[in-house]
């Protein structure tokens, strides 16, 4: 028989274990409702404790600038996780309770109910544990704000040391709260502000906190608040979820007790400090705000009356920066390289961005051929130079992108047609814009011109154009900005032949172009082209500049394939004549205009100082021009003996500049002009004349008109210059009586009175006048008989800017003032110092 194996197990133990298991599982089910109620109550207690701790943390963080303890943050995060799990568990509680049966002692699915009941028990234990852990003696510790964070920047600001000190000194002035730096892109504004930030980060200036925010385009208050909040140590997920108004209050609570400096780099529109929560700087708080922008308009909207312009470097400082980037080893590698390097640096026109990028590009190029190639490329097509199209032009393009409206953008791009370093005449450029159709002239020429000046102002304030220092009527474009404009006009270099610009380059013939059909604008002004033959098929061409060449001949068929040509400038050439159909025509040296009436779209006709003279024949052709709005012309005095010439009042309104010339002709005693309502400038040479009023006349020059006795017909001249030895009265009381019956106030727009060589002049006007715009009165070279000035104690609105300049010291002693008050008002303004008018 085989072996026998037996096991003896106590029946009581087995029964006890089974009972315990069944009781535990049973408690998950029959106690489920009670356990859920207990869990819900515990969870409410945990949330209340969390709210108390969070409130305590918040108060200490924002009022005492303390930092929450890590263990507190861990506890709060655990509660957030627990709350999510609790909500998921609670969402299925109704289903689980409905699954119970037999008075909730059993379940229709024992397995599912046991599993759910177990989750409830385990969560209840975790919640109770978190409640016990939430007893904190302290919830925060001291966390003083760092004085500032030093930003990476070159150790020295080459060429801008003086500017750096000026910005620093302005910021440190007690009366200054907000400092604005403006200038074109790449000029070094951010570099300067970074240097200031780093000085203050080294605990200079006694500030509690230094905050640096990069704003850039399309920034929102929420984004700026986020950057400030992170610096102040109040950031975090919970703070991020707050509204802008709540975040503003939080920031204000911290900063109102601090002496702070806030740097806002690269702003494109007004940053409302109160919306962000930044207390406005004041002398009492000692806090400061400094910002950089490319727009002078933004400085105004930020209420900075005296912003600091950051300009390009002068030639010497630009060379210093370029040398530093290139390195002495490269510059010394060949004796010809330094001279070539100066030419390359000169192409940057003092723009630090260009000097840095191009200097770094040339740093390892030590053959003279490479440097000669660099000069050639930067002269002919700078966009092909390494780094220009990738690193320089895109930075500048932000200013273009920020311009408001396609009209302003088109006007800006048009300015790139002018020569490199060339001055841009404001009024001339506006006339081009009108001719191209950028500016609508339907509302009248004056309104269109005003809109043009507004656009010019916008471009200057955006640092895309520069106001000329010497001539108010001129602007200019930085060469690198010009490259950017031509790059944009060529669709970022994709269609380089769309605009052909070879102005003032010395060419002698029309350049070769692969595809003339794609050309939109051509600028060949200021060259040495003498003849143009053949024809160009340019179906999309709208502008052609050929002025100031040596042109003597243009072939008959040259313009035949230019159906969209709107602006043609041939001024400053020696052409004998031509025929054309366009909207705007500049013709300074023409001798005749045959068939001009065929120019059906012509709107602007400039004949001033040309060899063409207005006569009956030309007037008849002008009469047929239905769209003409602007005419400047020269006229012979013989044709003005009668008024028949100006039989068309519509043409009379279009004549805005008129020159009466040909002094070599036989003397004409009387010249009669009709009421030319549009006339803005009249130039007279060696003639006598009479005329009614010209309501829009702004400039009159009269030279050697010895027969003139009075200028009564200039009642509304804003700028009067006279040189006629027999002139006795400016306005004759007798002759002006009929004109002044309608209570017309003379000289209401007058800005300057300048009398030269008038020994017989006795009276300007018989009564005192208000002179609402008068700025200067000058008496030159003998006006000894003029004793009474048309002034009283209320004349001249802006008297602080008014000056009386005279040459004869004895004249002042003979002046008969209206009364003592008038004398006290104007005598201190009289001076014999030399003055330019």
**pLDDT tens digit sequence for 536-582:** 899 999 999 998 898 888 887 788 888 888 888 887 777 655 545 45
Query: What would the pLDDT profile of 382-414 be if each residue is shown by its tens digit?
Result: 888 888 998 999 999 999 999 999 999 999 999
Q: Take residue 310 and report the two structure tokens written for it.
A: 């950051």
Average pLDDT over residues 287-298: 95
Q: Which residues 6+ apart lie within 8 Å of 293 measured at CB? A: 180, 181, 182, 189, 266, 267, 268, 299
Give the confidence band of 688 by pLDDT, cuts at 50, 70, 90: very low
Q: Take residue 807 and report the two structure tokens written for it.
A: 């040459």
At residue 620, the 3 state secondary structure works out as helix
| Cα–Cα distances in angstroms (integers) from residue 816 to residues 728, 771, 785, 790, 813, in the given order | 18, 19, 11, 10, 9
Q: Are 549 and 528 in contact (CB under 8 A)?
A: yes
| Cα–Cα distances in angstroms (integers) from residue 223 to residues 211, 288, 501, in the given order | 14, 20, 43
What's phi and psi for 169, nearest 5 deg? -65, -40
* Domain with residues 160-309, CATH architecture: 3-Layer(aba) Sandwich (3.40)
Nearest-5° Cα angle at 642, 637 to 647:
110
Output the pLDDT for position 661.
66
Domains of the chain, residue spans: 14-142, 160-309, 352-485, 497-576+587-647
Q: Residue 755: in which H helix or E strand, if any? A: strand 752-756
Please, where are the H alpha helices in 362-444?
A: 368-380, 393-401, 406-414, 426-436
- Mean pLDDT (the chain) is 81
Q: Which residue has the higher pLDDT, 129 or 720?
A: 129
Question: What is the Cα–Cα distance from 359 to 808, expressed in whole angstroms?
Answer: 60
Q: Which CATH entry fits the domain spanning 352-485: 1.10.10, 3.20.20, 3.40.190, 2.40.360? A: 1.10.10
What is the domain class of 497-576+587-647 according to CATH?
Answer: alpha beta
pTM of the predicted structure, to 2 decimals: 0.65
Query: What would the pLDDT profile of 415-451 be if each residue is shown by its tens digit?
Result: 999 999 899 999 999 999 998 999 988 887 889 999 9
Question: What is the Cα–Cα distance from 636 to 646, expressed in whole angstroms?
Answer: 14
| Other CB atoms within 10 Å distance of the CB of residue 660 | 21
Query: Do the bridges between strand 803-806 and strand 288-293 make them parallel or antiparallel, or are there none, so unpaired?
Result: unpaired
Q: Which residues 6+ apart lie within 8 Å of 55 measured at CB? A: none
| Other CB atoms within 10 Å distance of the CB of residue 392 | 26
DSSP 672-710: B----TT--EEEEES---B----TT--EEEEES-TT--B
Output the pLDDT for position 353.
92
Q: Are 802 and 831 in contact (CB under 8 A)?
A: no
Q: Residue 301: in which H helix or E strand, if any? A: helix 296-301
Give the confidence band of 753 by pLDDT, cuts at 50, 70, 90: confident
Q: Looking at the chain, how many residues does it have?
A: 837
Task: Using the predicted structure, report yes or no on whether residue 790 has a pLDDT greater than 50.
Answer: yes
Report the interhelical angle of 11-30 vs 32-63 (nearest 10°).
60
**Cα dihedral sign for 525, 529, 533, 534?**
negative
Q: Burial, 243: exposed, middle or buried (Cβ in 10 Å; 0-12, 13-18, 19+)?
A: exposed
Q: Which residue has the higher pLDDT, 689 or 194?
A: 194
Output the pLDDT for position 88.
83
Output the pLDDT for position 666.
46
Query: Do the bridges between strand 499-501 and strand 521-523 make them parallel or antiparallel, or are there none, so unpaired?
Result: parallel
The listed range with the strongest mean pLDDT (210-219, 268-277, 606-615) is: 268-277
The listed range with the strongest mean pLDDT (151-165, 432-446, 580-594, 601-615) is: 432-446
| Cα–Cα distances in angstroms (integers) from residue 834 to residues 45, 223, 804, 809, in the given order | 89, 57, 11, 13
Question: What is the Cα–Cα distance from 48 to 59, expressed in whole angstroms?
Answer: 17
List the end-to-end C-alpha distance of the chain, in Å, as a whole number: 143
Output the pLDDT for position 64.
58
Output the pLDDT for position 1.
42
Question: What is the Cα–Cα distance from 198 to 114, expressed in whole angstroms?
Answer: 65
Q: Which of 483, 181, 414, 412 is nearest to 311 (CA)?
A: 181
Q: Are 182 and 296 in contact (CB under 8 A)?
A: yes
Give the confidence band of 835 by pLDDT, cuts at 50, 70, 90: very low
Q: Which residues 6+ apart lie within 8 Å of 90 measured at CB? A: 36, 40
Query: Do the bridges between strand 499-501 and strand 66-68 make them parallel or antiparallel, or are there none, so unpaired?
Result: unpaired
Query: What would the pLDDT profile of 633-644 be if each residue is shown by its tens digit?
Result: 877 766 654 446
Give the confidence band of 700 by pLDDT, cuts at 50, 70, 90: low
Q: Which residues 6+ apart lie within 8 Å of 629 measured at CB? A: 441, 445, 603, 604, 654
Q: Take residue 3 and report the two structure tokens written for it.
A: 């072996």
Q: Which residue has the higher pLDDT, 28 or 570?
A: 570
Looking up tokens 């309770």 gives: 97
Query: What would the pLDDT profile of 352-364 be if each residue is shown by its tens digit?
Result: 999 999 999 999 9
Q: Which residues pair with 630 in a beta bridge?
A: 604
Task: Using the predicted structure, report yes or no on whether residue 34 has a pLDDT greater than 60.
Answer: yes
Task: Using the predicted structure, report yes or no on whether residue 806 has a pLDDT greater than 80.
Answer: yes
Q: Are 616 and 645 in contact (CB under 8 A)?
A: yes
Give the confidence band of 712 by pLDDT, cuts at 50, 70, 90: low
Report the interhelical angle of 110-133 vs 70-91 (nearest 10°).
150
């Amino acid at each position: 028989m085989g072996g026998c194996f037996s096991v003896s197990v106590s029946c009581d133990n087995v029964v006890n274990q089974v009972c315990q298991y069944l009781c535990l599982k049973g408690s998950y089910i029959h106690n489920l409702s009670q356990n859920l109620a207990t869990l819900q109550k515990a969870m409410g207690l945990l949330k209340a404790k969390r709210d108390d701790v969070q409130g305590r943390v918040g108060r200490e963080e924002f009022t005492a600038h303390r930092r929450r303890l890590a263990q507190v943050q861990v506890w709060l995060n655990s509660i957030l996780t627990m709350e999510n799990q609790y909500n998921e568990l609670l969402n299925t509680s109704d289903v689980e309770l409905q699954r119970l049966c037999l008075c909730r002692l059993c379940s229709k699915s024992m397995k599912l109910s046991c599993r759910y009941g177990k989750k409830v028990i385990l969560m209840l234990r975790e919640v109770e544990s978190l409640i016990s852990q939430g007893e904190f003696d302290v919830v925060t510790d001291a966390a003083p704000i760092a004085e500032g964070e030093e930003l990476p920047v070159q150790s020295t600001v080459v060429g801008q040391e003086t500017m750096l000190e000026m910005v620093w000194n302005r910021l440190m002035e007690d009366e200054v709260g907000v400092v604005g730096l403006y200038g074109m892109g790449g000029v070094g504004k951010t570099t300067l502000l970074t240097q200031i930030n780093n000085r203050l980060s080294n605990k200079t200036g006694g500030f509690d906190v230094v905050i640096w925010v990069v704003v850039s385009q399309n920034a929102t208050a929420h984004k700026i608040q986020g950057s400030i909040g992170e610096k102040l140590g109040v950031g975090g997920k919970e703070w991020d979820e707050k509204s802008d108004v709540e975040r503003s209050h939080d920031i204000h609570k911290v900063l109102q007790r601090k002496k702070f400096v806030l740097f806002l780099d690269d702003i494109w529109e007004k940053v409302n400090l109160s919306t962000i929560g930044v207390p406005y700087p004041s002398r009492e708080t000692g806090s400061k705000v400094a910002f950089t922008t490319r727009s002078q308009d933004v400085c105004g909207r930020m209420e900075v009356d005296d912003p600091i312009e950051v300009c390009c470097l002068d030639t010497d400082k630009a060379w210093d920066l370029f040398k530093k980037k290139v390195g002495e080893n490269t510059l010394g590698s060949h004796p010809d390289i330094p001279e070539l390097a100066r030419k390359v640096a000169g192409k940057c026109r003092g723009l630090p961005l260009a000097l840095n990028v191009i200097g770094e590009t040339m740093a390892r190029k030590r053959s003279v051929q490479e440097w000669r190639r660099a000069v050639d490329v930067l002269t002919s097509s700078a966009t092909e130079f390494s780094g220009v199209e990738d690193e320089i032009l895109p930075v500048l393009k932000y200013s273009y992108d920020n311009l408001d409206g396609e009209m302003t953008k088109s006007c800006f791009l048009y300015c790139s047609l002018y020569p490199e370093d060339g001055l841009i005449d404001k009024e001339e450029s506006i006339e081009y814009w009108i001719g191209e159709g950028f500016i609508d002239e339907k509302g009248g020429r004056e309104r269109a011109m005003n809109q043009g000046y507004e656009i010019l102002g916008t471009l200057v304030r955006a640092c895309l154009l520069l106001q000329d220092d010497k001539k108010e009527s001129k602007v200019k474009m930085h060469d690198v900005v010009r490259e950017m404009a031509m790059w944009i006009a060529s669709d970022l270099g994709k269609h380089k032949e769309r605009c052909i610009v070879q102005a003032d380059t010395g060419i002698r013939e029309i350049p070769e172009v692969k595809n003339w059909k794609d050309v939109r604008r051509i600028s060949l002004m200021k060259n040495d082209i003498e003849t143009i033959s053949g024809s160009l098929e340019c179906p999309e061409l709208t502008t052609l500049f050929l002025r100031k060449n040596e042109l003597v001949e243009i072939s008959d068929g040259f313009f035949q394939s230019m159906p969209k040509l709107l602006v043609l400038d041939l001024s400053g050439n020696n052409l004998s004549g031509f025929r054309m159909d366009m909207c705007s025509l500049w013709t300074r040296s023409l001798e005749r205009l045959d068939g001009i009436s065929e120019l059906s779209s012509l709107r602007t006709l400039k004949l001033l100082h040309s060899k063409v003279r207005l006569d009956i024949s030309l007037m008849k052709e002008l009469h047929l021009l239905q769209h003409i709005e602007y005419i400047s012309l020269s006229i012979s005095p013989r044709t003005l003996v009668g008024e028949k010439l100006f039989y068309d009042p519509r043409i009379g309104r279009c004549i805005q500049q008129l020159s009466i010339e040909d002094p070599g002709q036989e003397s004409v005693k009387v010249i009669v002009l009709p009421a030319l309502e549009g006339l803005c400038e009249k130039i007279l040479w060696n003639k006598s004349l009479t005329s009614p009023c010209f309501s829009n006349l702004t400039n009159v020059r009269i030279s050697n008109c010895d027969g003139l006795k009075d200028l009564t017909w200039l009642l509304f001249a804003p700028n009067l210059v006279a040189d006629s030895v027999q002139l006795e009265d400016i306005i004759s009381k007798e002759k002006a009586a009929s004109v002044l019956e309608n209570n017309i106030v003379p000289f209401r727009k007058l800005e300057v009175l300048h009398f030269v060589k008038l020994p017989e002049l006795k009276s300007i006007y018989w009564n005192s006048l208000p002179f609402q715009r008068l700025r200067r009165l000058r008496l030159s070279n003998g006006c000894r008989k003029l004793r009474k000035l048309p002034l009283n104690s209320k004349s001249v609105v802006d008297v602080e800017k008014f000056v009386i300049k005279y040459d004869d010291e004895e004249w002042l002693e003979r002046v008969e003032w209206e009364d003592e008050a008038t004398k006290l008002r104007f005598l201190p303004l009289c001076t014999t110092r030399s003055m330019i008018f």
